[in-house]
Amino acid sequence: MRLNAFIARAGVASRRKADDLIKAGRVTVNGEPGQLNTFVGVDDDVRFDGKPLAKQRVAYVLLNKPAGVVTTARDPQGRLTVVDVVSHPARVVPVGRLDADTTGALLLTNDGDLAHRLAHPRYEVDKVYEVECWKQPTDDDLARLRAGVELDDGPARAAEARRVSGARIELVLHEGRNRQVRRMVEAVGHRVKRLHRSRYGPLTLEGLEPGAWRELEASEVERLRSTARPVPGPRNQR
């Protein structure tokens, strides 16, 4: 694996921050300064500031994120983070983000390759949201969400948009831009009262209370990998 991924897997820093450590000359591989394009094998001796690094085991965690918790590893304002809630022995980080007030399914892992595929829209991984609006959206509003709306950072569309009951709707997205669901709903003339992500790919929150988390079973990890494989044909040419 690439050196920055190894450093992240060892729990030292994120891959982006690992690049800075490598460029600063603080990481060596077999006694030589590491480079950004260095690949690490199972028998290589990797050291940070002279101390040997051991790769952590890969971990996959599903959290039912409660309201008021920020989706980040560290918060400069001192707010409670999802990493504080999970408190896993491995250095797991969230895949994508949920707003502080948004609740529901959040995956945390140190498997950077899988995290990238799950978050990238080209793999069309379903993120299912239950949205309660302050007033009832019309059928035309739902059709506009399916057709696509223009946001300040580009067009966005729901893969699916359906009414649950009254002012409650369900949206399926393949992206995860900042406050995307709220902004899409606002683009069709509504405001979000409550937002909950009920499913992430094949993962649901069945049996998981708000604030609780669990490690994924091997079969669930394999289903995630299968879900995040490239979609064949023209659907993937976007």
User: Which pLDDT score, from 0 to 100, does residue 138 have?
Assistant: 97
Residue 64 located in a structural domain: yes
Residue 99 bears catalytic tag: yes
Task: Please provide residue 219's backbone torsions phi and psi, each rounded to the nearest 5 degrees.
Answer: -65, -35
Residue 237 located in a structural domain: no
Give the bridge partners for 149, in sequence order: 156
CATH code of the domain containing 13: 3.10.290.10
Whether residues 114 and 219 fall in one domain: yes
Q: How confident is the model at residue 92 (pLDDT cuts 50, 70, 90)?
A: confident
Whether residues 102 and 69 fall in one domain: yes
Q: What gap in Å lies between CA 186 and CA 213, rounded to an integer?
A: 31
- Please state, rounded to an integer, the average pLDDT across all residues of the chain: 91
Expressed as residue numbers, the domain containing 26 is 3-52
Residue 218 located in a structural domain: yes
For residues 12-38, average pLDDT = 90
Residue 236 located in a structural domain: no
pLDDT exceeds 80 at position 236: no
Whether residues 87 and 75 fall in one domain: yes
CATH code of the domain containing 166: 3.30.2350.10
Whether residues 33 and 148 fall in one domain: no
**Which of 13-22, 63-72, 191-200, 227-236 comes out lowest in average pLDDT?**
227-236
For residues 154-158, average pLDDT = 96
H helix or E strand, kind and range, residue 6: helix 3-9
Catalytic residue selected from 19, 99, 101, 141: 99
Whether residues 113 and 159 fall in one domain: no
Whether residues 25 and 138 fall in one domain: no
pLDDT per residue over 50-91, tens digit each? 999 877 788 999 999 999 999 988 888 889 999 999 988 888
pLDDT per residue over 169-181, tens digit each? 999 999 989 999 9
Contact indicator for 60, 94 with CB cutoff of 8 Å: no
Whether residues 109 and 210 fall in one domain: yes
Contact indicator for 155, 199 with CB cutoff of 8 Å: no
Q: What gap in Å lies between CA 4 and CA 36, rounded to an integer?
A: 7
Query: In total, how many domains does the chain have?
Result: 3
The runs of H, that is alpha helices, within 102-174 are 112-119, 139-147
For residues 11-32, average pLDDT = 89
Residue 235 located in a structural domain: no
What is the DSSP secondary structure assignment for residue 70, as one 8-state letter? B
Using CA atoms in the order 204, 208, 213, 216, what is the torsion angle rounded to 10 degrees? -40
Residue 117 located in a structural domain: yes
Whether residues 224 and 111 fall in one domain: yes
User: Which pLDDT score, from 0 to 100, does residue 230 have?
Assistant: 67
User: Which pLDDT score, from 0 to 100, does residue 238 have?
Assistant: 37
Q: What gap in Å lies between CA 194 and CA 181, rounded to an integer?
A: 11
Q: What is the pTM of this model?
A: 0.80
User: Which pLDDT score, from 0 to 100, does residue 231 have?
Assistant: 59
Q: What gap in Å lies between CA 143 and CA 188, rounded to an integer?
A: 10
